[in-house]
Protein backbone atom coordinates (compact mmCIF):
# COMPACT_ATOMS: atom_id res chain seq x y z
CA UNK A 1 0.00 0.00 0.00
CA UNK A 2 2.88 2.36 0.80
CA UNK A 3 4.43 1.64 -2.58
CA UNK A 4 1.24 2.53 -4.43
CA UNK A 5 0.84 5.72 -2.39
CA UNK A 6 4.46 6.67 -3.16
CA UNK A 7 3.97 5.91 -6.84
CA UNK A 8 0.81 8.02 -6.99
CA UNK A 9 2.46 10.89 -5.09
CA UNK A 10 5.47 10.80 -7.42
CA UNK A 11 3.26 10.76 -10.49
CA UNK A 12 1.18 13.72 -9.37
CA UNK A 13 4.24 15.67 -8.19
CA UNK A 14 5.95 15.12 -11.53
CA UNK A 15 2.79 16.11 -13.39
CA UNK A 16 2.29 19.24 -11.27
CA UNK A 17 5.90 20.49 -11.53
CA UNK A 18 6.15 20.00 -15.33
CA UNK A 19 9.96 19.88 -15.21
CA UNK A 20 11.38 19.62 -18.74
CA UNK A 21 13.98 16.84 -19.00
CA UNK A 22 16.43 16.06 -21.74
CA UNK A 23 15.91 12.60 -23.23
CA UNK A 24 19.28 11.52 -21.82
CA UNK A 25 18.12 12.24 -18.28
CA UNK A 26 14.76 10.58 -18.88
CA UNK A 27 16.37 7.43 -20.25
CA UNK A 28 18.73 7.09 -17.28
CA UNK A 29 15.94 7.75 -14.75
CA UNK A 30 13.61 5.20 -16.35
CA UNK A 31 16.29 2.51 -16.63
CA UNK A 32 17.44 3.11 -13.04
CA UNK A 33 13.84 2.60 -11.89
CA UNK A 34 13.37 -0.56 -13.98
CA UNK A 35 16.72 -1.91 -12.75
CA UNK A 36 15.67 -1.38 -9.14
CA UNK A 37 12.26 -2.99 -9.72
CA UNK A 38 13.78 -6.06 -11.42
CA UNK A 39 16.44 -6.34 -8.71
CA UNK A 40 13.79 -6.08 -6.01
CA UNK A 41 11.70 -8.81 -7.60
CA UNK A 42 14.71 -11.11 -7.94
CA UNK A 43 15.73 -10.45 -4.32
CA UNK A 44 12.17 -11.04 -3.07
CA UNK A 45 11.97 -14.39 -4.86
CA UNK A 46 15.34 -15.43 -3.40
CA UNK A 47 14.24 -14.31 0.08
CA UNK A 48 16.98 -11.68 0.44
CA UNK A 49 14.86 -8.56 -0.16
CA UNK A 50 15.57 -5.41 1.85
CA UNK A 51 13.67 -2.20 1.25
CA UNK A 52 16.66 -0.18 2.46
CA UNK A 53 18.88 -1.78 -0.18
CA UNK A 54 16.23 -1.21 -2.85
CA UNK A 55 15.81 2.50 -2.06
CA UNK A 56 19.52 3.21 -1.53
CA UNK A 57 20.40 1.27 -4.67
CA UNK A 58 17.89 3.22 -6.74
CA UNK A 59 19.18 6.59 -5.58
CA UNK A 60 22.83 5.55 -5.89
CA UNK A 61 22.26 4.32 -9.45
CA UNK A 62 20.30 7.43 -10.31
CA UNK A 63 22.89 9.84 -8.92
CA UNK A 64 25.80 8.02 -10.57
CA UNK A 65 23.96 7.92 -13.90
CA UNK A 66 23.17 11.63 -13.69
CA UNK A 67 26.81 12.41 -12.83
CA UNK A 68 27.87 10.49 -15.96
CA UNK A 69 25.48 12.58 -18.04
CA UNK A 70 26.74 15.84 -16.55
CA UNK A 71 30.39 14.84 -17.02
CA UNK A 72 29.65 13.78 -20.58
CA UNK A 73 27.95 17.11 -21.30
CA UNK A 74 30.93 18.94 -19.82
CA UNK A 75 33.47 17.02 -21.92
CA UNK A 76 31.18 16.79 -24.99
CA UNK A 77 31.17 12.96 -24.82
CA UNK A 78 28.05 10.79 -24.72
CA UNK A 79 28.86 9.04 -21.45
CA UNK A 80 25.20 8.34 -20.75
CA UNK A 81 25.50 5.36 -23.09
CA UNK A 82 27.61 3.72 -20.37
CA UNK A 83 24.78 4.12 -17.84
CA UNK A 84 22.24 2.80 -20.35
CA UNK A 85 24.44 -0.19 -21.16
CA UNK A 86 25.04 -1.10 -17.52
CA UNK A 87 21.40 -0.63 -16.47
CA UNK A 88 20.28 -2.70 -19.45
CA UNK A 89 22.74 -5.46 -18.60
CA UNK A 90 21.60 -5.50 -14.96
CA UNK A 91 17.93 -5.60 -15.98
CA UNK A 92 18.51 -8.66 -18.16
CA UNK A 93 20.62 -10.25 -15.42
CA UNK A 94 17.80 -9.81 -12.89
CA UNK A 95 15.17 -11.05 -15.35
CA UNK A 96 17.37 -14.10 -15.90
CA UNK A 97 17.49 -14.69 -12.13
CA UNK A 98 13.68 -14.52 -11.97
CA UNK A 99 13.42 -16.95 -14.89
CA UNK A 100 15.82 -19.39 -13.20
CA UNK A 101 13.80 -19.19 -9.98
CA UNK A 102 10.59 -20.16 -11.76
CA UNK A 103 12.29 -22.86 -13.82
CA UNK A 104 13.68 -24.47 -10.66
CA UNK A 105 10.38 -24.19 -8.86
CA UNK A 106 8.06 -25.40 -11.62
CA UNK A 107 10.28 -27.59 -13.83
CA UNK A 108 9.24 -31.22 -13.98
Q: Which domain holds residue 75?
A: 21-107
C-alpha–C-alpha distance, residues 108 and 105, integer Å: 9
Is 16 inside a domain boundary?
Answer: no
Instruction: Decide if pLDDT at 90 tops 80.
Output: yes
pTM of the model: 0.78
Q: What does the pLDDT look like over 27-66, one tens digit per residue?
A: 998 899 899 999 999 999 999 999 899 889 989 988 998 8
Give the confidence band of 6 by pLDDT, cuts at 50, 70, 90: confident
Q: How confident is the model at residue 108, as a pLDDT?
A: 56
Instruction: Give the range among 8-17, 66-75, 76-85 with minimum mean pLDDT.
Output: 8-17
Is 5 inside a domain boundary?
Answer: no
Is 1 inside a domain boundary?
Answer: no
Coil, helix or strand for 77? coil
Q: Check residues 98 and 19 and name the one with the higher pLDDT.
A: 98
C-alpha–C-alpha distance, residues 22 and 35, integer Å: 20
Is 56 inside a domain boundary?
Answer: yes
Q: How confident is the model at residue 89, as a pLDDT?
A: 96
C-alpha–C-alpha distance, residues 106 and 96, integer Å: 15
How many structural domains does the chain have? 1
Is 4 inside a domain boundary?
Answer: no
Q: Report yes or no: 43 and 50 within 8 Å, Cβ to Cβ.
A: yes
Is 14 inside a domain boundary?
Answer: no
Is 64 inside a domain boundary?
Answer: yes
Amino acid sequence: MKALAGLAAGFFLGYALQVPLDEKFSAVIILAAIDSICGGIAAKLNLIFSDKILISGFFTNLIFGLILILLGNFFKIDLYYIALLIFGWRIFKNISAVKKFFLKKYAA
